[in-house]
C-alpha cells in the first residue's frame, strides 16, 4: 500500500534545484502527486505531495534529505500524511480575493483572520511587496484563492472584507 508524504524544501535559487529534489523521489520509487514551487527573492521554495511504498521508506527519504543538504545545499523535510481523501466535504464555492494597498504590518494576518473566523478555507495565497515606480512607496499585493461555505453570501463576504480593507486603507475585491 502506498504511503503519502509532504516535503518542504528550500535552497538558494540555481539551475538544477528541481532536478535534485525530484531525483530523490525517483531514486526511491516515489510518484509526485501535487507540487508548488517558486522563486522568492533568490530563494527557491518547494512543496511536494508524493506517494511511495516499500519497507522503511520514510527513513530512506529522511536520510536522502540529509544527503541532499550536505551535497547540494538544499534543506528538505518530509512528513507522512494521511492517505485518505476528505470524504463528503462541506459544500462551498470558490472565490478569488485580491488585496492591494500601501504595505504595512498585519495585512496578511488581518485578512486571513477574517477568513478563518468565518470558516473560509485558503487554498492558495500569493503576495508580493513592490516599490511604486513613481514614488518609491512600498505597495503590497495579495491574491487569495478561497473555499467559501455555501451559507456565506457573496454580499456578507464582500461587506466583511470591505471593513477589513477600510481599517487598513486597502482595496479588497472578491471575484
pLDDT of residue 88: 62
Q: Taking 80 as the threshold, does the pLDDT of residue 89 lie above it?
A: no
Q: What is the mean pLDDT of the chain?
A: 94
Listed residue (99, 85, 66, 104) closest to 172, CA to CA: 99
* Rg of the chain taking only CA atoms, in angstroms: 20
Domain definitions of the chain by residue range: 3-81, 92-174
Are 3-81 and 92-174 equal in CATH topology?
yes
List all residues 6 or more positions away from 1 whose beta carbon is below 8 Å from its beta carbon. Answer: 53, 83
Instruction: Please provide the CATH number assigned to the domain covering 92-174.
Output: 3.30.70.260
What whole-number percentage of the chain has pLDDT above 90?
91
Q: How confident is the model at residue 1 (pLDDT cuts 50, 70, 90)?
A: confident
Q: Does domain 3-81 have CATH number 3.30.70.260?
A: yes
What pTM was computed for the model? Answer: 0.80
pLDDT digits (tens, 9 = 90+) for 13-43: 999 999 999 999 999 999 999 999 999 989 9
pLDDT of residue 82: 86
SS3 24: helix
Amino acid at each position: 500500500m502506498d504511503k503519502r508524504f509532504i516535503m518542504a524544501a528550500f535552497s538558494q535559487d540555481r539551475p538544477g534545484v528541481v532536478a535534485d529534489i525530484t531525483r530523490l523521489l525517483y531514486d526511491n520509487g516515489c510518484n509526485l502527486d501535487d507540487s508548488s514551487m517558486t522563486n522568492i527573492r533568490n530563494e527557491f521554495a518547494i512543496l511536494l505531495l508524493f506517494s511511495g511504498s516499500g519497507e522503511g521508506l520514510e527513513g530512506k527519504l529522511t536520510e536522502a534529505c540529509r544527503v541532499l543538504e550536505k551535497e547540494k545545499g538544499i534543506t528538505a523535510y518530509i512528513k507522512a500524511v494521511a492517505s485518505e481523501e476528505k470524504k463528503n466535504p462541506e459544500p462551498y464555492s470558490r472565490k478569488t480575493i485580491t488585496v492591494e494597498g500601501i504595505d504595512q504590518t498585519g495585512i496578511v494576518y488581518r485578512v486571513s483572520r477574517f477568513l478563518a473566523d468565518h470558516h473560509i478555507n485558503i487554498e492558495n495565497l500569493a503576495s508580493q511587496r513592490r516599490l511604486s515606480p513613481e514614488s518609491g512607496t512600498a505597495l503590497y499585493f495579495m491574491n487569495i484563492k478561497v473555499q467559501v461555505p455555501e451559507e456565506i453570501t457573496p454580499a456578507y463576504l464582500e461587506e466583511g472584507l470591505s471593513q477589513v480593507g477600510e481599517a487598513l486603507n486597502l482595496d479588497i475585491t472578491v471575484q
